[in-house]
Amino acid sequence: MRISKSTIISLLALTLILVGIPLAIFSYEAHRSGQTLAEYLAKTLKKIGAQDTSHLTIKSVQGETIDFLKKVTIGDPVGEAKPWITHVAIVDLDKDGLKDVILCDAKLNEVRWIRQSPAGTYTESKVGDTVRGPAHVTPSDIDKDGDIDLLVAQMSIIVPENDKIGAVVIMENIGNEKFVNHVIVDNVARVCDVEPGDFDNDGDIDLVVAQFGYDDGEIRWMENKGNWQFESHILQNLSGPIHALVEDIDKDGDLDIIALVAQEWEEIYIFENDGHANFKTNLVYGSTNEDFGSSGISLVDLDKDGDKDILFTNGDAFDYLPPGPRPWHGVQWLENKGNLKFEYHRIGNFAGAYFANGVDIDRDGDIDIAVVSAFNKWDDPKSQSMIWFENDGQMNFIRRNITSSPTHLLVLASDDMDGDGWVDFVTAGMHVYPPYDRLSRITLWKNIWPKRKTVEE
Amino acid sequence: MIRRVFIAILVISVCVGIPILIEWSTTGNPETKNIHMELFRYGTTPSIIRANRGDELIFTFSASNTGHSFLLQDYRIEVKVSPASEKVEVRDPLQSSYENIIDTDKVHLTAGLEGWWGKLVSLSRFRCHIYCGPMHGFEQGDLIVRPNWLFSGSLGLLVAIIIIAFLRVRWSSENEPKLIPPPIDLNKKLPILDKILKWRPLQFVVTLPVLAGFVLVIIAGFFGTKVGGRNFGVMLTWSVWMALLTMILVPLGGRIWCLVCPLPALGEYLQRGATVQVRKAKKEGKYGNRFFGFGFRWPRKLSGTWLRLLFFLGMGTLSASMAGQPKWTATALFSLFIIAIIMSLIWNLRSFCMYICPVAAFISLYSPFGRIVVRSRDTEICGNCRERACLRGNEKGWACPYELCVPNIKRNFDCGVCTECFKSCPYDNVTLGLRRGRWTERFASYGQAWQAIVLLVLGMVYPLTILSPWTVMRDMVNVIDKATWLEFGKYAAVLWTIALGVVPLLFWLATRFGMLLSANKEKKQNIRTSGIFSAVTGDVFKKTMPALLPLGLSFWATFFIATVMINLTFIIFSISDPFGHGWDLLGTAGMPWVQVWPSGIPWIQATLVLTGLTFSLKKGYQVWFNETGRKNDALKGFAPTATILILLAAGMLIYFTNF
C-alpha cells in the first residue's frame, strides 16, 4: 500500500496535536514541579479520579486526658470584638531574658507585643505603624545590628480576596522599644509568610515570601541589596502558598525553602538551593484530595535521626458551606529519608487541625505533637480545640485531649515561657464564624506536668 | 411611502412616549433608605434593590459564611465584606491602586448615575468579586432606579412593533410574495474560493487548529484550576465558543462550524482510513469509497432529531454545573469525542453528527439564518446525473457524511458544509452560495418543531436561572457543591415537562385555534371533526414553528452577550494562563477583572429580544400567508401563536429591564 506524502504530513500533524501538545504541557509541568513525567501523570490522574482516602489511616489511639496545662489569659482582654489573631511568635524581643509574645491582630490591623516584665506579668502594646491585615510575624535581626526586627506578612484582607494588595513589611527595631516600618514590596498577591535566610551566601539576610493570593499566588525570594532594598526572584506562581520555611533540609550546607501550597493544589515543595540561590523545584508531597485543606507546616526532627522532618496539618475548612470539619482532617509527617526523598506517615485525625508543633511535652526524650483546631464542630461543647499526640518513643502516637475552650484556635507557638525547663504553649483565637460563646484572644498554657517533680528528681 | 414612515414614527412616539410619561409621573421624590445587605454563597439578601433617582442609599453589610464583595461597577464601588466584622472596606474597582481603601461601617450611595448616559441607566447589576465556590461566577443582584426608561420604553416599543407589523400587513398587497433571488454563486465570483473548496486537505487543515484548541480545553478542564473563570477550558467553551456560535457563526455561516468541528474528526479519519486522501471502493457498491468499521446503517427507529434533542436538553439542564466546574465541562466534551469515535466505527458516515450530537441540535436548528449555503448550480445537470458522486463519493471526494444528494439540498438544516461534494462532483455543479432575501426553510418533522420549542424554552431558562438575581433559582441548578439533588431533580422534571410537554401543547393549541380562526365555515367543520391532534393540525404546526427561531436565537444571544461582556477580561486572562498554573503567555494573566460596559447589557438584551420578536412575527405571518393566501386569514391564523410569542418576549423584556 502506497502512503502519500500528504498522508504522512497530516498524520504527523495529528500526532503532534493529539500526543505532542499534551506531552509538551505535561513535561513542562512535571519539570516545573520537579517531578518525572511518570510521577506527574500518576499524580494528576489520581487527582481526576475518586477522592483519595488513604489519609484516613489512623495511627494514633485515643488515650486518657492528662491535666497538665494551666490556662492563663495574657495581653488585652477579648472585649466587644470577636478576635482575629492570625499569628503568634515567642521571642525575647527586648532581650531582657524573659520570653515575650508577638502577635498579628487582623481586627486592629496591628502587630502587637505582649511583653513579659517582670516575670509572669504580661503587658500588651502596639509595635510600629499599622499593618493592614497582618498574617504572620517572624522575629529576625535582618539588619544585623544586634536587635530583633520583625518581618511581617501583610495580607491586607484576611478573608478570601484575589486583588494584589499584599505587602512585605519589615519593622526595624531602632531601640527604646521603638520600631519603624519599611515596606519592602507591596501591591502583590496577599502575603502569608515571610522568613529570613541567607540564600546566596553573601553574608546578608534575604527573605522568602509565601503569597497566598487567592486565584493568583506566588513564592518569591527577595535578595537583600542593602539599605532596605530587595530584588524579587519568583520561584513559583501557584495560588495558595501558606508557609515557606527555611532550612538546610538536604544538609548540603546551604539554605533550602520548604513551602506548603494549599488552595486547590495541596502540595509541599522543596526549593533546593545550589548554594548560589539557584533553586530547583521538588514536589515532595501532594494530596490527591483537592479538598485536603492544608493548613500548617513546621520542621522538626520528629524521629530524632539527625535530619529535619516535615510536620503538617490539614484542617482548613473555609471552603465549605457552612465552614466545618471534614473526616480527612488531621496531622501527618514526612519522614526525611535523605536525598530529598520523604515518606508519608499519618499521625492521627483531628477535625479542623490548623497547626502542629513538635516538642517534647512530657520530657520523656521523644517528640510529641501539640495541635490546635480552627474548624471543629463548635456547636458540640465536647469538640476539642487543642489536643496532643503523645509519642511512645517508637513513633506510635496516643491522642490526648487538652481543651474544648476556647474555640477557633488558628495558631500555636511553643517555648519555655517561664524558664522552668518545661515547654509551654501560646494559642490565639480567630473567630471568623459562629458560635461566639468561647472566645479568646491570646492564651498562655503553662505546663504543670504532674510528673515533673518526679522527672526533675 | 413618506406617509407610512410618518405614521410608523408617530406610532413609535406614542407607544414609547406614553409609558415613559407614566413612569416619569409615578416616580416618587428622592428619600433616604437604609439597606442592609447580607452576602452569602451564592447571592445576597435583598437581591433586588429598588430606588428612585436621587435616593440616598445607606448600606450596611454582613457576610454569613466566607468573605464576599459587593461590586457595583456602574457606581465604581466595591465593598469587601468579611464575616464577623461590622466594618467593610470600600474601593473603586476601576482603579488599580489600593491606597484609597476606606474602612467604614456604612456605605452611602446616591441612586442614579451622572451624565446623559447615566440618566438613561436604570438597571445596574452588582456581583461578587471574591471567588467563593463553583457558582460564584453567576452571583448577581440588581439596583433598579426609577424612572426606569428602558423598562417602560422597551415595553412601549414592543406594542409599537405589534401595531406597525399589523399596519404593514394592511398596507401590503394580496399578491404572492416576491420571488426570492437565487444565492450569489461565490465559486464563480471568487475563483480562489473555488480552488480552496476543491483543495483536498481543506477540511483537515482548518480542523487541525480547532482540534489543537479542543485538546487544550480538555487538558485545562481535567488538569487546570478548578476556578471556572480562570480555566481556559471553561472560558473557551462557554464564553467564547458558545457565544461565537450564537452571535456570529450560526447567524452568518449556518452550519459552517461543522466544517471545523473537532468532535467527529478523529472518528472520521479512522472510519475513512485517511486524513486528506480519498480511498476509492474496489468494487461497485453503495458507496464509491472504501471505509473501515462495520458501517451499519443507523437504526431507523432512532433516526431523526429526537435523540440529539434529548442530549441537548440533558446538557442544557446540567449546563450551570458544567460551566461552574471545569472537570464537568471536560468530561462532557471528552465523552462526546469518544462517543463520536466509537460510533464512526460501528455506524456509517457521520451518524454521530446526524443523530446524537447536541451541538448539532443547536447549530442545525438555527442554521437557516446562515447566509452561507451549499446548493447545486444547475438543477438540470443534477437531473441528468447518474453517478450521484456527491452522495456516493468517488475517487475525488468522499461520500456525503450527512447522506445528502446536493440537488436535494433545499435547506441548511442537514448539510455540514464539509466541502466533499465540491470535490466529488464531476460536473463542477456544486456552489457555495451567499443567500439573498429571506430564509424559507421548513421543518420536515415533528422532531424539528419540538427542537425549536425546546431551544426557545432553554433560551429563556438560561438567563432566568444562571444569570438570575434570585438566589433560589441559582441554588436550584447548583448540584456542584450544595448537592441538592432532590431540588435539582424537581427542577429538571419541571424543565423537561415544560419544554417537551406544556409549551409544545400551547403552540399546538394556538396553531389549531389559528386554523379555526382563519378557515371558512366548511373548513372549520373539517378541522373540528379531524380532532385536536390530527395530522392536519400537525402539518400546520410544523409549518408554523420556524417562526420561533428568530426569537429563540435572540434569547440565546441575550444570555451569551451578557456572559461575554461580563467575562471578557477573564477570557483574555485564561488565554494567558490556560490552566491557572501561573503561566503568563500574553502578559495579561494578572489583569484585573473589569466588565465591559455593564450598564449597556440590559439595553443590548432588550434590543435583541425586540429584534427577535420582529423577525419571528414576520416569519410567522409569511408562513401563514403561504398557507392561506390571504392577508386577513394569515393574520387570524397566526394571531394565537403570535400572542404566545409576544407574551414570552414581553416577559423576557420585563425580566431583562426590571429584574
Same domain, B217 and B253: yes
Instruction: Suggest the residue from A12, A17, A18, A234 to mutate for an interface test with chain B (most B CBs closer than 10 A).
Output: A17
Dist. CA B394–CA B402, nearest whole Å: 16
User: Given an 8 Å threshold on Cβ–Cβ distance, is A215 in contact with B266?
Assistant: no
Please tell me whether residue B572 adopts helix, strand or coil conformation.
helix
Dist. CA B432–CA B187, nearest whole Å: 6
Contact by Cβ (8 Å): B250, B257? yes
User: Given an 8 Å threshold on Cβ–Cβ distance, is B130 in contact with A160?
Assistant: yes
Chain A residues close to B215, C-beta within 8 Å = 17-18, 21-22
Confidence (pLDDT) at B131: 83
Question: Which amino acid belongs to residue A244?
Answer: A
Q: How confident is the model at residue A50 (pLDDT cuts 50, 70, 90)?
A: low
Dist. CA A373–CA A403, nearest whole Å: 10
Please tell me whether residue B276 adopts helix, strand or coil conformation.
coil
Whether cis (ω within 30° of 0) applies to the bond prior to A435 is yes
- The C-alpha angle A191, A195, A201, rounded to 5 degrees, equals 130
Q: What is the mean pLDDT of residues B436-440?
A: 88
Residues found in chain B: 659
Confidence (pLDDT) at B41: 86
Instruction: Suggest the residue from A215, A318, A430, A436 to mutate for an interface test with chain B (most B CBs closer than 10 A).
Output: A215
Q: What is the mean pLDDT of residues A146-168?
A: 91
User: Given an 8 Å threshold on Cβ–Cβ distance, is B215 in contact with A17?
Assistant: yes
Phi first, then psi, for residue B461 (nearest 5°) are: -65, -40
Chain B residues close to A18, C-beta within 8 Å = 211, 215, 266
DSSP state for residue B264 in the 8-state scheme: T
Confidence (pLDDT) at B95: 83
C-alpha cell at A140: 529576625
Please give the residue that has the higher pLDDT: either B555 or A1: B555
- Nearest residue on chain B to A30, judged by CA atoms? B581
Q: Which residues pair with B433 in a beta bridge?
A: B185, B373
Question: Which amino acid belongs to residue B611?
Answer: T
CA–CA distances in Å: residue A75 to residues A105, A138, A152, A179, A414: 12, 19, 20, 19, 17
Q: How many CB atoms lie within 10 A of CB B525?
A: 11
Same domain, B57 and B175: no
Chain A residues close to B581, C-beta within 8 Å = 29, 32, 237-238
Which of B314, B404, B321, B318 lies closest to B361, judged by CA?
B314
Same domain, B591 and B450: yes
For chain A, what is the largest distance between any 2 Cα atoms, rounded to a whole number of angstroms?
95
Confidence (pLDDT) at B99: 62
B360: containing domain: 192-373
Closest residue to B227, CB basis, from A29, A82, A215: A215
Contact by Cβ (8 Å): B124, B74? yes
Dist. CA B63–CA B1, nearest whole Å: 61
Confidence (pLDDT) at A75: 96
B494: in domain:
yes
Please identify among residues 71-110 of chain B the ones whose CB lies closer than 8 Å to any CB of chain A: 80, 82-85, 89, 98, 101
Beta strands B56-63; B32-40: pairing state: parallel
Q: What is the mean pLDDT of residues A38-47?
A: 83
Q: pLDDT exceeding 70 applies to what percent of chain B?
A: 98
Closest residue to B481, CB basis, from A25, A107, A321: A321
Residues sharing a CB contact under 8 Å with residue A32, sequence separation 6 or more, in sequence order: A236, A281, B581
Contact by Cβ (8 Å): A123, A114? yes
Please identify among residues 573-592 of chain B the ones whose CB lies closer than 8 Å to any CB of chain A: 579-584, 589-590, 592
Nearest CA of chain B to the CA of A49: how many Å? 10
Dist. CA A47–CA B229, nearest whole Å: 20
Q: Has residue A235 got a pLDDT over 80? A: yes
Which of B165, B41, B166, B76 lies closest to B615, judged by CA?
B165
User: Given an 8 Å threshold on Cβ–Cβ distance, is A436 in contact with B590?
Assistant: no
Q: Which residues pair with A442 in a beta bridge?
A: A74, A428
Helices vs. strands in chain B: H and E counts, helices first: 28, 14
Q: Has residue A126 got a pLDDT over 90? A: yes
Q: pLDDT exceeding 90 applies to what percent of chain B?
A: 81
Closest residue to A161, CB basis, from B84, B130, B219: B130
Express each pLDDT in A351-399 by its tens digit: 999 999 999 999 999 999 999 999 999 999 999 999 999 999 999 999 9
* Alpha helices for B199-349 (secondary structure H): 202-223, 232-234, 242-244, 250-253, 257-260, 265-272, 306-317, 319-324, 326-346
Nearest CA of chain A to the CA of B441: how many Å? 37
Chain A residues close to B89, C-beta within 8 Å = 157
Contact by Cβ (8 Å): B221, B327? yes
Sheet holding B88-91, edge to edge: B68-72, B77-81, B88-91, B102-104
Confidence (pLDDT) at B482: 67
B72: in domain:
yes
Q: How confident is the model at residue B227 (pLDDT cuts 50, 70, 90)?
A: confident
Residues sharing a CB contact under 8 Å with residue A102, sequence separation 6 or more, in sequence order: A88, A89, A90, A91, A93, A111, A112, A113, A114, A127, A137, A139, A150
Same domain, B277 and B314: yes
Chain A residues close to B63, C-beta within 8 Å = 159
Residues sharing a CB contact under 8 Å with residue A357, sequence separation 6 or more, in sequence order: A298, A300, A311, A369, A370, A371, A412, A413, A414, A425
Same domain, B198 and B79: no
For residue B118, what is the domain's CATH number? 2.60.40.420
Dist. CA A7–CA A11, nearest whole Å: 6
Helix axes B631-658 and B548-576, enclosed angle (nearest 10): 30
Confidence (pLDDT) at A318: 77
Same domain, B136 and B174: no
B414: in domain:
no
Confidence (pLDDT) at A51: 56
Same domain, B632 and B535: yes
Confidence (pLDDT) at A55: 53
The last residue of a domain, from among B373, B393, B428: B373
Confidence (pLDDT) at A52: 57
The kind and range of the H/E element at A180 are strand A178-188
Residues sharing a CB contact under 8 Å with residue A434, sequence separation 6 or more, in sequence order: A378, B84
Instruction: Suggest the residue from B101, B127, B130, B331 to mutate for an interface test with chain A (most A CBs closer than 10 A).
Output: B130
User: Does residue B273 belong to the interface with chain A, where contact is any CB pair within 8 Å?
Assistant: no
The mean predicted confidence, pLDDT, of chain B is 93
Q: Is the ipTM of this complex over 0.90?
A: no
Whether cis (ω within 30° of 0) applies to the bond prior to B42 is yes
B385: in domain:
no
Please tell me whether residue A209 adopts helix, strand or coil conformation.
strand
Same domain, B86 and B213: no
User: Given an 8 Å threshold on Cβ–Cβ distance, is A156 in contact with B277?
Assistant: no
User: Given an 8 Å threshold on Cβ–Cβ distance, is B582 in contact with A216?
Assistant: yes
Q: Which residues pair with A117 in a beta bridge?
A: none
Closest residue to A237, CB basis, from B66, B130, B582: B582
The mean predicted confidence, pLDDT, of chain A is 92
Chain A residues close to B129, C-beta within 8 Å = 162
Nearest CA of chain A to the CA of B85: how many Å? 8
Confidence (pLDDT) at A452: 66
Q: Measured in Å, how far apart are chain A's first and last C-alpha atoms?
A: 93
Q: Has residue A426 got a pLDDT over 90? A: yes
Please tell me whether residue B312 adopts helix, strand or coil conformation.
helix
B281: in domain:
yes
Dist. CA B492–CA B326, nearest whole Å: 21
Closest residue to A48, CB basis, from B41, B69, B222: B222
Name the burial class of residue B259, with classes exposed (0-12), middle (13-18) and buried (19+) by CB atoms within 10 angstroms of its CB: middle
Dist. CA B283–CA B275, nearest whole Å: 22
The kind and range of the H/E element at A435 are none
Please identify among residues 501-530 of chain B the ones whose CB lies closer than 8 Å to any CB of chain A: none
Contact by Cβ (8 Å): B194, B187? yes
Instruction: Suggest the residue from A10, A154, A218 to mutate for an interface test with chain B (most B CBs closer than 10 A).
Output: A10
Dist. CA B437–CA B346, nearest whole Å: 41
B579: in domain:
yes
User: Given an 8 Å threshold on Cβ–Cβ distance, is A48 in contact with B223?
Assistant: yes
Express each pLDDT in B366-423 by its tens digit: 999 999 999 999 999 999 999 999 999 999 999 999 999 999 999 999 999 999 999 9
Dist. CA A122–CA B48, nearest whole Å: 51
The last residue of a domain, from among B341, B373, B405: B373
C-alpha cell at B3: 406617509
The kind and range of the H/E element at A378 are none
Beta strands A61-62; A397-403: pairing state: parallel
The string of DSSP letters for B170-186 reads HHS-SSPPPPPPPPEEH
Name the burial class of residue B453, with classes exposed (0-12), middle (13-18) and buried (19+) by CB atoms within 10 angstroms of its CB: buried
Dist. CA B511–CA A83, nearest whole Å: 67
B606: in domain:
yes
* Structural domains in chain B (count): 4
B304: in domain:
yes
Q: Has residue B166 got a pLDDT over 60? A: yes
Confidence (pLDDT) at B91: 87
Same domain, B532 and B592: yes
Residues sharing a CB contact under 8 Å with residue B336, sequence separation 6 or more, in sequence order: B263, B357, B358, B359
User: Does residue B163 belong to the interface with chain A, where contact is any CB pair within 8 Å?
Assistant: no
Same domain, B200 and B124: no
Dist. CA B103–CA A130, nearest whole Å: 13
Confidence (pLDDT) at A214: 87
Same domain, B590 and B537: yes
Size of interface A-B (CB pairs under 8 A): 132
The last residue of a domain, from among B323, B346, B373: B373
A85 torsion bin: left (phi>0), alpha (psi -120 to 50), beta (else): beta
Residues found in chain A: 457
Q: What is the CA radius of gyration of chain B?
A: 27
The kind and range of the H/E element at B639 are helix B631-658
Confidence (pLDDT) at A53: 58
Dist. CA A372–CA A388, nearest whole Å: 9
DSSP state for residue B190 in the 8-state scheme: -
Q: Please state which of the ranges A227-241, A318-332, B266-280, B562-576 shows the lowest mean pLDDT.
A: A318-332
Same domain, B500 and B362: no
Phi first, then psi, for residue A152 (nearest 5°) are: -120, 130
Chain B residues close to A163, C-beta within 8 Å = 98, 592
User: Given an 8 Å threshold on Cβ–Cβ distance, is A239 in contact with B65?
Assistant: no
User: Given an 8 Å threshold on Cβ–Cβ distance, is B208 in contact with A165?
Assistant: no
Q: What is the mean pLDDT of residues B519-546?
A: 91
Whether cis (ω within 30° of 0) applies to the bond prior to A325 is no
